[in-house]
Amino acid sequence: MVSTIPVRRSVLSVLAIILVLPLSLILSSPKASAMKIQTVKSPGGIEAWLVEEHSVPLIAVKFAFKGGSAQDPKERAGVANFVSVMLDEGAGKYSSEQFQEREEDLAIRMGFEDARDTFYGSLETLSANRDAAFELLQLALTKPTFGQKALNRMRVQLLAGLAYQKKDPRNVAARNWLKMAFGSHPYARSAQGSEETLTAITPKDLEDYRKRIFARDTLRIVVVGDIDAKTLGSLLDKTFGDLAEKAELVSIKDIKPNKGPKQKIIKMPIPQSVAQFGMVGLPRDDKDFMAGYILNHIVGSGGFSSILMEEVREKRGLAYSVYSYLQPLDHSSLFAGSVATKNSAILESIDVIKSVLSRMAEKGPTATQLKNAKSYLTGSFALRFDTSSKISDQLLYINREDLGIDYVEKRNKLIEAISLEDLKRVAKRLLKKNDLLVTIVGQPGQKKPKS
């Protein structure tokens, strides 16, 4: 969950306008590879990637610690998410109210988010408020107060969100799918926790998680904007230097999702059914990942051009939306997707999806489909780098996945190198219909009552 800070309307307007401005000098070339990415090492040994851009008075910082919700103790599931909403609720000498007033006065955007394997943070500030903004971030990371009053208030919000999620069919389908796929593994647990675990979490639990996870040895940092390498080096030590040297991560076993075919129906009195489907995917460091990435675009992530959309929606009118995705995790990988439609059409939709996967595994995509996918994926890549915030997002992902500082330059070449034979081979390897796990939430097969 991201903690979003409200700021004064006048100040927010200025910051919001700057945040969406293109970095004109960086993007004067149509290629994202025109960026100059530096590796900065602070006097204290903390590394960051930096893209300098002095034409816009803005600095965007994104960082990540290895950990995330998979590091939640079983009896305290949801603690990482709880930490993410508490870091700006008072730190150092500032109470919760004072901390957020300080953010408002400085026009700072600070946010935190827990993912399955990673804990993320971000800071966006005007250049004029740079030092004060980094100081506030340092307090949030190293000296959060985790006050009981703020904790109780945020707990009420988290419990309310949990109650809503229990009624959200997409969330219910996803949660049940993870349990079916991963059993007792930490990946099967809800990142939001349960009523029982959220109620039990104390300030000590939050601080214990922070001390274990927030450490320099797993820290990845990307900075984009109006700052030079020397200045950044000094700020890195001031901001992150007081963190623990090494994280205390609980060992998590690598796991493949359970194999199907298996289908589970969770009855819910709603007019439409939602289905989550999936099976084992490809790790990010797998030699076939790029081919799998292109294949997935053709199958289900390419919007209206995808085969699933064509077969399920365009040809048969069974659903408004259907999609698939590849999700590499630190200890597993998934090829998964979702479809939602009227109760009477959900089972047929699942059958069509299975048929598409089976046909693709047998025959693979066509040369035209591969050509179109390459054209879109390479042509749209630059759009991921048209603001400082987008650039920092992309570079942090590249850094976090150890893809190399030159990945932006070589990424499109890797896509162009994939052959039709590569895709056909990977389709046979990846798209195994009989391994498919499916969860359906709703009243599948039930027709809408006549009025």
Residue with tokens 């939050």: 206
Distance separating alpha carbons of residues 304 and 317, to the nearest angstrom: 13
Q: Is the pLDDT of residue 413 over 60?
A: yes
Tally: H helices and E strands in the chain: 16, 11
Distance separating alpha carbons of residues 123 and 62, to the nearest angstrom: 7
Copy the structure tokens of residue 408. 């932006």
Predicted local distance difference test score (pLDDT) of residue 449 = 54
Rounded to two decimals, the pTM is 0.91
Average pLDDT, the chain: 92
**β-sheet bridge partners, residue 224:** 51, 60
Predicted local distance difference test score (pLDDT) of residue 280 = 98
**pLDDT tens per residue, range 335-346:** 999 999 999 999
For the domain spanning 9-240, the CATH number is 3.30.830.10
More confident residue, 233 or 388: 233
**pLDDT tens per residue, range 351-360:** 999 999 999 9
**pLDDT tens per residue, range 231-275:** 999 999 999 999 999 999 999 999 999 999 999 999 999 999 999
Superfamily of domain 262-442: Metalloenzyme, LuxS/M16 peptidase-like (3.30.830.10)
Distance from the Cα of residue 285 to its chain's centroid: 18
Predicted local distance difference test score (pLDDT) of residue 448 = 65
**What percentage of the chain carries pLDDT values higher than 70?**
92
Q: Is the pLDDT of residue 5 over 90?
A: no
CA-CA-CA-CA dihedral for 55, 60, 61, 62, to nearest 10: -130
Q: Tell me the residue ranges of DSSP E strands in 10-57.
A: 38-41, 47-52
- Which residues fall within 8 angstroms of residue 394, CB to CB, at 6 or more apart? 384, 385, 408
Residues of the chain with CATH 3.30.830.10: 9-240, 262-442
**What percentage of the chain carries pLDDT values higher than 90?**
89
**pLDDT tens per residue, range 266-325:** 999 999 999 999 999 999 999 999 999 999 999 999 999 999 999 999 999 999 899 999
